[in-house]
Structure 1
Amino acid sequence: MEKQNNLLYGVAYYFEYLPYDRIDEDIKMMLAANINVVRIGESTWSTYEPEDGVFDFSKLIYTLEKMQQAGIAVIVGTPTYAFPAWLAKKYPEVLVENDGQRQLYGRRQIMDITSPVFRAYAERIIRRMLSEVIHFDNIIGYQVDNETKHYGTSAAHVQAAFIQKMKVTFDGDLAALNQAFGLDYWSNRINSWEDFPSVNGTINASLAGAFSKFQRELVTDYLSWQVDIVNDYKKANQFVTHNFDFEWRDYSYGIQPDVNHFSAAQALDVAGVDVYHPSQKQLTGVENSFVGDVARNLKQQNYLVLETQAQAFKSWTPYPGQLYQLAFNHIANGANMVEYWHWHSIHNSFETYWKGLLSHDFQPNPVYNEAKQVGQDFKRLSDKLVNLKHDATVAIVVDNESLTTTSDDRWMEFGVGDHVKYNDVFRRIYDSFYRQNIRTDILNPQTIALDQYALVVVPMLYVSDRSFLQRLNDYIHEGGHVLFTFKDGVADEHVKVRTALQPAIIQEAVGAHYQLFVDPNGEKLRDVSGVFQDSDLVISDWSELLVTDTATSLANYDDHWAQYAAITENHYGAGMAWYLGTWASASVIDQLIKHVVKNSNVAPSPYGVAWPLIVKSAENHEHAHIDFLFNFSDQTQQITLPFDGVELLHQENINSNQQWELAPWSVKILERRDK
């Protein structure tokens, strides 16, 4: 995608949801807030096709005409993630089937994305819709579907397609599949392709993992299919995007288990994301950060925030200053657009009290007034803040297959622990880098170029082929640095545990091995290196009893397992490897990462501060260095500036070594001045 000309600031807007026609007043209020883009259309199929083959796009066209007259750009969404009741009644097979049960009509995202009937009707509405709107010059892009996942689709035709996939994967050799997946266990062996059972009931992690991977591939195929349709209509100056979401734990928490974002993004022109987060006293900024570090690396370019909260829930209504702060936080992470869900609060149905920028009364309110200030400053500073380039010297490797296998107890008895799922480990490590103001990229084994980074972090890579683990060994030997964690390297690409000493293959680089793992059962760490002074040495859930070969122990266990190491470091060739063998506290992780960074040629932040002061640095198109400084706390914070420059929000000249105050929940933006 070509570089954007300006920052985009917008809202989702559905004329179809309004209790009465007030679009002129809405546009007036949007323009007053310098809102320059709206997203429309992706949730209103039943309005556009009230009966099979009867189309009415009048409300869509009316909205586009009004926005065009006002000079507001539009992103049009394909309306396929919520389909009309008549389609479900006429063809029940369009409803997704989970574990043999077809879902009832009502909620959104209950379609079978593989159903030929659903796809035929979806293609028809997309083509009819786009042919109606293609002539509007204010359409800047199209969004395909909405937060698409596989929805657990597992009907008979999906199972049949999976069997065909396995036939191709194993060249028709059923004996090879049985061996690779260990299907002799509990008589799960399959002796004829015709006897291949439904995967819904499997207890075999290899088979379940392969099916989950296949389901994610269905999402990639579905989105690519929609992109191909839209590409038949879009103009050269328009883009196609999608709004990826993340694992949901009452907010955006971690890597999405049901989509491989890196694969699914390939068909898009630009990646989009939806990110939601705690607010008020619980606001840390970390969710925006990790989502940005993923999104920025999906296409190796800036991304779009297609949804984030304005007011939303009672616990998310932002404190004064937070909406303004977070808008620039998205830009600091690499976004070129910030768009709220949604313009106004909805007056009935499921999301009645997920409040928009406007409340139910449609009147200006403190949140809207703060958004007006955002829009004003986005417009004023757009030329300096659009298309920012972000560099990181640390990469975190994430993996969907490992996430699936380590986070679902249906397929593997006695996992790491009820409170130690994949995203728990990822977030505890990621959050530590974030708090220490160390920029990271997030990639997967297929997309990472190891030699671009001074430090690579590999959390819980339970599933991996030999080649990637060997690449890590070679990278370390040639001078790279890797932080490994427990459960790395355990199983091959078919989720079969390796027969070598663990951690398998990377053992030579780690310089330690283990044969026993235990629940620490009250055991603590013993700091034998001085690295973990003043840390909380309590551990829980999982401990690998490490025997050092060439490695040095940084921490041992303190009681019954005192002869074993828990955390090690090892010189290997010209590089170093660290191994975290236990589920340690956040403070231990913090100290370990400080130690690793110090010994990895990772440049520390020149500001020398940590959370709640967060610094994000980037380079703009004029090659000027831009530093965003955020105070994520209720208390005024002090910071000493290491650079001369101009504070852009207030056009204030700044000198190096000057003391700067950041008010609670505030942001300052420094454009460095070369001496």
Structure 2
Amino acid sequence: MKLERSVTAALACLGMTPIAAWAEGTGKSADTILYGVAYYDEYTPVDRVEKDAELMKAAGINVVRIAESTWGTLERQPGVFDFSHVDRTLAAMHRQGIKVIVGTPTYAIPTWLAHEHPNVLVQPGTYGRRQNMDITDPDYRAAAERVIVALVDHVKDHPAVIGYQIDNETKHYNTNGPRVQAGFVEATRRRFGNLDALNKAWGLDYWSNRINRWEDFPSTVGTINASVANAFSAYQRSLVTDYLAWQAGLVRGRARTGQFVTQNFDYEWRNYSFGVQPDVDHWAAGKALDISGVDIYHPGQDKLTGAEIAFGGDIARSVKGKNYLVVETQAQGMPEWTPYPGQLRLQAYSHLASGANGVMYWHWATTANAVETYWRGLLGQDYQPNAVYAEAKVVGAELKRLGPKLVDMEKRNSVAVYVSNTALSAFDSFKMEAGGRGVGYNDVFRGFYDALYRQNIEVDVLSPATTTPLDKYKLIIVPALYAASDAEIERLNAYAKAGGHLLYTFKSGFSDENTKVRYAAQPGGIAEAAGVKYQLYTRPVDVSLQGDPFSVGAADNKARWWMEMLEPTTATVMARYDHPAWSRYAAMTRNSYGAGEVEYVGFMPSDALAEKIVADAARRAGVVWETGSRFPVIVRSGYLKGGQRVRYVLNFSGEARQVNLAATEGSDLLSGRRVDSGTALSLAPWGVAVIEAK
């Protein structure tokens, strides 16, 4: 039943304080940390929504997300709606004081839509898997609009509803049919204006790929030209941006004032969240949202490091430059992720340490159906409390007490990592071979990001679309900027010239924004700022650095994956290759450039070597970080709304640890114990402390 009374009045009747509005421009923020789960009444084996809501409240759950996968249940025939599952869930959660985020159900299409309009399928005739739709298809859009409008109109006035999640982990799903190809041709025509400019920019004279009439423009499927392929990839990403903006507009045009719009972005998937998402430009797509949302999954048990939690959070926070929601993360997840005692709690606080204002598990209870039968929720398939639920209950009680203090923590990082979807697509067109596999852009990104993470050097993540002034940062690390415009490179170089510190890696500046190799001394527009050039490159085989310049030992003093034979022009040589054929060439250089410095690393270092390189750059740039500890003890910090500094101290180890923190005087908000300067802090196996400075 639609409830018409106002949210404020309804909550006042229940004696509750509302979770404040998040919507852009309201001037309000969350008043506590959101701690929640996804819930699907229609999946449950018996009628138990009231019991589940009671168990959630007992565990400190204060929000659930619903409906995003339920189109076939909500609209069983075109235009025939059944919101009974939604209504039951809203009513049960509201009775327990639990807030609700409603998802638009458009990422898994109903059988009738595939039957009536088989053209909506990206892979015709293959109904069954989710996210198998062409997000540009008019029949799909018409059906999606109908269900979105009906659902939002039905729930918007319910006092439990605080916001909406549009679609789910949206990507372009490689939609590339005739309509999409025609749209790409039209976008290309607008961009270049004439075919001579296009053919030159993309090098289409090669292998007779030249286009002499617009009507002869071939399909991009199967192209051997990286410029074509990567321009089409950028166009496909723009389809996602447009699609999410379309959904956000539909929802926002009907939602109640103060309800927010989010989306659960995800990352490159390698059986867990691994790197920058190739199929979505998070920064561009994020403009349509009120708050960035993210799904983060990571290895567990002895492989739990927290690195995926950190980089996923750093990207999500950087997309809009403010706190974000973890819309999905694992409670148990895959069997090999079933958490050890203490790990669920550690994981929750790790998300908060990156600036999350909410942590939500996918999902409440494990399904008994279909492909995700062994992807486990907070509860198992018996829907009974278990050891994981008991630990969530501990977290819920702590967040009920501390959430108002911890919410809206501000990060003040002085280091950034610069990433680019354009560079990613271009780099991955020419993946490097190593160990029988293709090494891609995200391998380079993670190699340098993780080196920072293990040493507790915290970062923001920038993109070409970032409007944040670069001079906010003392050090910017630029991994594998393989394709970039002259203007983009000039912006980075100008940052260094004005006094900043840049660290470029190999394969940066090689090609322009069209993935056309620059007709210049490499590394192109970086060459002058870095004071270096190169003409030769190869894949290293047993190549070390002369004299072990970073003191990492013989096993780690190695170049891997790629090496460029650097020739300094004005730069100082920091390392040379130790090899009979390549010893005259530099491996790494440093150059004074205006008031700043530019370093160039011409090879992929080992993990230990990468740590030394980034730490040395950070010291030279004047970065201050927690040098008294390193992985497996991770320290991440920020500032609470009252201005107090807070440090999350996280032990990613099955052993107890003693930690000496610099300039520490305060108290552990979790245990209440006092922490004095010069006194070691004790952490249990997989333990956590949250230290508020005095």
TM-score range, shorter chain: over 0.9
Q: Which of 76, 79, 87 matches 1:53? A: 79
Query: 1:244·1:274 contact (CA, 8 Å) conserved in 2?
Result: yes
Alignment of 1:177 onto 2:203:
no
Q: Which string of whole-angstrom CA distances, capped at 9 and with x for unpartnered residues, describes residues 547-603 of structure 1?
A: 111112222111210000111111122211111101221111111112111111111
The answer for the alignment partner of 2:44 in structure 1 is: 18
Q: 1:429 aligns with which of 440, 443, 448?
A: 448
- 1:450 equivalent in structure 2: 470
**2-side partners of 1:578 and 1:423: how far apart?**
21
Q: Does structure 1 conserve the Cα–Cα contact (< 8 Å) formed by 2:433 and 2:561? A: no
Contact 2:432 2:561 in 1 (8 A): no
Query: Which whole-Å deviations, capped at 9, do the CAs of 1:36-64 have from their partners, x for residues lacking one?
Result: 10000010101111112221111111211
2:363 maps to amino acid: H
| Aligned with residue 77 of structure 1, among 103, 111, 116 | 103
Q: Classify 1:535/1:3 alpha carbon distance in 2 versus 1 (closer, same or farther; 3 Å).
A: farther
Partner AA of 2:391 in structure 1: E
The amino acid that maps onto 2:313 is G
Relative distance call for 1:408 and 1:506 in structure 2 (3 A) is closer
Q: Distance in 2 between matches of 1:416 and 1:661?
A: 41
Q: Is the 2:237–2:279 contact (alpha carbons within 8 Å) kept by the matching residues of 1?
A: yes
Distance 2:469 2:191 in 1: 26
Q: Does 1:127 align with 2:149?
A: yes
Residue 154 of structure 1: aligned partner: 176
Separation of aligned partners in 2, 1:592 and 1:535? 16
CA contact 2:122–2:133 (8 Å) conserved in 1: yes
CA deviations on 1:13-40 (whole Å, 9 max, x unpaired) are 0001111111111111101101010000
TM-score of the pair, normalised by structure 1:
0.97
Matches of residues 409-428 of structure 1 in structure 2 within 5 Å?
A: 409=430, 418-428=437-447
Map of 2:253 onto structure 1: 232
Q: Deviations over 1:399-457 (max 9, x none)?
A: 00111111135xx8989994421000000100010001011000102205211100011
Structure 2 counterpart of 1:115, which letter?
D
Q: Which residue of 1 aligns with 2:282?
A: 261
Instruction: Within 5 Å, give how 1:572-651 maps onto structure 2.
Output: 572-605=593-626, 608-641=628-661, 642-651=663-672
Q: CA deviation at 1:539?
A: 2.1
SS in 2 for 1:141: strand
2:93 is aligned to 67
Alpha-carbon distance, 1:538 to partner: 2.3
One-letter amino acid matched to 1:618: G
The one-letter code matched in structure 2 to 1:57 is F
Deviations 1:519-557 (A, max 9, x none): 222222224745656661222221100011111222211
Q: How does 1:269-418 map to 2 (within 5 A)?
A: 269-409=290-430, 418=437
**What letter is aligned with 1:568?**
T
Return the alpha-carbon distance in structure 1 between the equivalents of residues 465 and 242 of structure 2.
18
Q: How does 1:34-53 map to 2 (within 5 A)?
A: 34-53=60-79
In 1: Cα distance, 2:456 partner to 2:85 partner = 47
Contact 1:64 1:74 in 2 (8 A): yes
Question: SS of the counterpart of 1:395?
Answer: strand
Aligned to 1:549: 569
Map 1:454-469; keep pairs closer than 5 Å. 454-469=474-489
* Cα pair 1:528 1:554 within 8 Å, conserved: no
8 Å CA contact 1:209, 1:495 repeated in 2 = yes
2:230 matched to which residue of 1?
A: 209
- How far apart, CA to CA, are the structure 2 residues paired with 1:96 and 1:480? 46
TM-score, normalised to structure 2, is 0.94
Q: Is the 8 A contact 2:410 2:638 kept in 1?
A: yes
CA contact under 8 A between 2:32 and 2:405: conserved in structure 1? no
Aligned structure 1 segments of 4 or more residues deviating by more than 6 angstroms: 412-417
Name the Cα RMSD after superposition: 1.5
- The partner residue of 2:163 within 136, 141, 147 is 141
Deviations 1:91-139 (A, max 9, x none): 0111015xxxx36100000010000110000000111111111220110
Q: Distance in 2 between matches of 1:60 and 1:626?
A: 39
Give the equivalent residue in structure 2 for 1:163: 185
Q: Is the 8 A contact 2:550 2:609 kept in 1?
A: no
Q: 8 Å contact 2:36–2:62 — kept in the other structure?
A: yes
CA shift for structure 1 position 73: 0.3
1:668 corresponding residue in structure 2: 689
Amino acid at match of 1:573: G
Partner of 2:560: 540
> Following the alignment from structure 2 to structure 1, what is the Cα–Cα distance between the partners of residues 30 and 177?
43
Aligned equivalents of 2:593 and 2:553: distance in 1? Answer: 26
User: CA distance change for structure 1 residues 414 and 291 in 2, over 3 Å: closer, same or farther?
Assistant: closer
Match of 1:116 among 138, 158, 164: 138
1:490 aligns with 2:516: no
CA distance in 1, matches of 2:56, 2:62: 8
Which residue is 2:491 aligned to? 471
In structure 1, how many angstroms separate the alpha carbons of the residues matched to 2:297 and 2:59? 22
Structure 1 Cα separation of the partners of residues 550 and 407 of structure 2: 45
Partner of residue 104, structure 1 = 126
2:685 & 2:366 partners in 1: Cα distance?
Answer: 28
Indicate conservation of the 8 Å contact 2:284/2:465, yes or no.
Answer: no
Deviations 1:277-303 (A, max 9, x none): 001000000101001110111111100
- For 2:89 and 2:578, the matched residues in 1 are separated by 67
CA distance in 2: counterparts of 1:346 and 1:433, whole angstroms? 38
Contact 2:432 2:439 in 1 (8 A): no
> What is the percent sequence identity of the aligned residues?
49
Q: Are the equivalent residues in 2 in contact too, given 1:519–1:543 (CA < 8 A)? A: yes
Q: Does 1:5 align with 2:23?
A: no
Deviations 1:58-89 (A, max 9, x none): 11112111111221100000000001011101
Cα distance change on mapping 1:527 and 1:444 into 2, 3 Å:
farther
Q: Which residue of 2 aligns with 1:441?
A: 460
Within 2, Cα distance between the matches of 1:348 and 1:414?
Answer: 39
- Contact (CA 8 Å) 2:665, 2:675: kept in 1 or not? yes
Contact 2:432–2:562 (CA<8 Å) still a contact in 1?
Answer: no
1:94 to 107, 120, 123: 120
Q: 1:406, 1:415 within 8 Å by CA — same for their partners in 2?
A: no
Q: Deviations over 1:320-376 (max 9, x none)?
A: 000011111111110000000000010111111100000111111000000000000
Structure 2 CA distance for aligned equivalents of residues 119 and 491 of structure 1: 37
In the alignment, structure 1 segments of 5+ residues that lack a partner are none
Q: 2 CA distance for matches of 1:648 and 1:94?
A: 52
Q: Does the CA-based 8 Å contact 1:524-1:558 persist in structure 2?
A: yes
- Mean CA deviation greater in 417-426 or 628-637: 417-426
What secondary structure sits across from 1:491 in the alignment?
coil
Measure how far apart 1:604 and its partner are: 2.3
Q: What is the DSSP-based 3-state SS (H/G/I as helix, E as strand, rest coil) of the residue aligned with 1:505?
A: helix
Deviations 1:590-642 (A, max 9, x none): 1111211111111122x621111100111111111111101101111111243
